[in-house]
Amino acid sequence: MQEPSGQTTLWQWLEGRDTARMNRYQRYLSFYAGEQWDERRRAGERRLTVNYARALVRKAASYLMPRPVTFDVREEGRGNREQGKREGAGDRMPGLSSIDVEGGDGSREALAEAALEAVYADLDLHALDFQSAVDSAVLGDGAFKVTWNPKARRPVVAAVDPQGLWAWWRPEDPTVLTRVVQRYELERGAAAMLVGQGEEGKSGRSSLSFPPSSNLQTTTSARIVEDWTPDRLRVELDGEIVRDEANPYGWVPFVIYPNLARPHEFWGASDLEDLIPVCQELNRRMTTLSRILEVAGYPITVLENVTGSEGIRVDAGAVWELPEDSRAYLLDMLSGGGVRLHIDYIELLYRQLHDLAETPRTAFGDSGRSLSGVALEVEIQPLVQKVMRKRRTWELVYRKRNAMILELLERFGGLDLGGLRQTRAVWGEVLPSDREALVRSEARLVDAGIHSRRDAMAALGDADPERSWQRVLEEREQGWG
């Protein structure tokens, strides 16, 4: 792995690396923000920008995560049972030591699920995940950083801008990171608190506590580079290595994921890749049609066989005196069906846009015709398939991220989880459904012996049918039903 020379800082070394990816990110961000014209605007020129790119990205993210995801901790997903007893593991994490698992059986699985739920609620990770899903759909990549905050005594999960990340991975397994370098800038005051010079830093340093640096007193911002490998952590502050020590976690604390995986590549593809040409052409055609309608709304008066226009005023009720053999008429730019050609072309672009985005108009609540429930499901099936592809990626993200969170809770928070690490994401339904009809259907299947009660519970969205069925049996034994 290439390293910077002795005269080159990590910040400078990263400047010329992976520039094609960085340029791609910048273009997609600008396009998403509405900068969708390649040509420079002429003086007085009016342009329309119909930002379908942003609407389609947000719509897909809304279908991807219609409601918060829950998790089922698996018994088979046990790591090292002694992780929580390693040297340096702290006391039980405040706020999680006495979790009351409603209806739970006091098992480690229940404790792990409750701990994850508490962390997600405390950090509002469901909102963070939606924002990251939108960000990754635009850029093509997303990332999370999972660390431990010793002052707050809890895990910290942050969405990281891929524009500040450089990654290396195993050639035979791109899902395993061998090195991640994160680069970012902080204002002097924030950097001072980070290194322990500010008021907040005096009361307790964070997990990235730097020694004092005189550079913070003379610059408006500090340049920080974190270099993570499974064995080592190096931190550079304004070109000076201020921390070089063993990695406190033993793994790279980043989860980097592609929005849409490219064959044989680590970095992913943006949802905007195929939409940009169509969106640009749609903007041009809409602008052209707008100009035609504007002129049609203020019609041009044509005078024939008239040498001058003095005394001719276009006012309501005006009377003109024209010479013999001359005539006046309004130029009708809408005659001959020319505007219809523009409209037909716009509708064709509109259809191409929805096809390429795999987001039918039905997803916006307007199918344009009366369809049965089954027909509507068939029409919106492309979006469902797109969402399922994204969810497969997110399931891997959740498994990795949750394993890191549980590891931190056991090692540094003192929770006795018995090495449990494996989780399963329980998603909400992609499409709205008639729950009452589903309940009746499942009840008939159970009565007919086609479905078990556990199958019915799972079909109705129960995160843990086995535990729910045990509670039903307990209530029956206690005479509740």
Question: Which DSSP string do the residues of 153-199 spell out, in sequence order?
Answer: TEEEEEE--GGGEEEEEETTEEEEEEEEEEEEEEEHHHHHHHHT-SH
Please give the pLDDT value at position 206. 42
> Is residue 138 predicted with pLDDT exceeding 80?
yes
3-state SS assignment for residue 200 = helix
Q: 22 pLDDT band (50/70/90 cuts)?
A: very high
Please give the pLDDT value at position 410. 93
Span 121-143, average pLDDT: 96
113, 71 in Cβ contact below 8 A?
Answer: yes
Span 369-386, average pLDDT: 77
Q: 412 pLDDT band (50/70/90 cuts)?
A: very high
Q: 172 pLDDT band (50/70/90 cuts)?
A: confident
- Residue 289 CB coordination number (10 Å): 16
Q: 115 pLDDT band (50/70/90 cuts)?
A: very high
Q: 439 pLDDT band (50/70/90 cuts)?
A: confident
Question: Which DSSP string do the residues of 355-389 spell out, in sequence order?
Answer: HHHT--GGGGT--SS---HHHHHHHTHHHHHHHHH
Please give the pLDDT value at position 168. 95
Span 273-281, average pLDDT: 95
The more confident residue out of 106 and 363 is 363
Please give the pLDDT value at position 429. 79
The more confident residue out of 191 and 166 is 166
Span 354-382, average pLDDT: 78
Indicate the average pLDDT of the chain.
Answer: 80
- Token output for 480: 């509740």
Span 417-421, average pLDDT: 89
Closest CA to 127 of 159, 162, 161: 159
pTM, 2 dp: 0.78
Specify the range with the lowest mean pLDDT, choosing from 51-65, 69-83, 232-246, 373-387.
69-83
Span 427-442, average pLDDT: 73
Span 374-379, average pLDDT: 75
Beta-carbon contacts of residue 305 (< 8 Å; ≥ 6 apart): 323, 325, 326, 327
Q: 219 pLDDT band (50/70/90 cuts)?
A: low
Closest CA to 240 of 221, 217, 223: 223
Specify the range with the lowest mean pLDDT, choosing from 65-74, 161-170, 228-237.
65-74
Span 157-171, average pLDDT: 94
Identify the H or E element spanning 467: helix 465-477
Span 354-379, average pLDDT: 77
Identify the H or E element spanning 29: helix 19-33
- Residue 295 CB coordination number (10 Å): 13
Please name the residue ranges forming H helices in 305-434.
Answer: 338-357, 373-379, 381-411
Q: How many helices (H) and strands (E) does the chain have?
A: 14, 12
**Separation of alpha carbons 193 and 371, rounded Å:** 60
**Separation of alpha carbons 220 and 218, rounded Å:** 7
The more confident residue out of 383 and 98 is 383
pLDDT in tens, 288-336: 888 887 776 666 677 777 777 666 666 666 666 677 777 776 666 666 6
Please give the pLDDT value at position 465. 75
Provide, rounded to the nearest whole percent, the portion of the chain with pLDDT above 70. 75
Residue type, 349: L
> Is residue 245 predicted with pLDDT exceeding 80?
yes
Closest CA to 110 of 396, 407, 415, 405: 415
Cα dihedral 209, 210, 212, 215 sign: negative
Residue type, 399: R
Residue type, 269: A
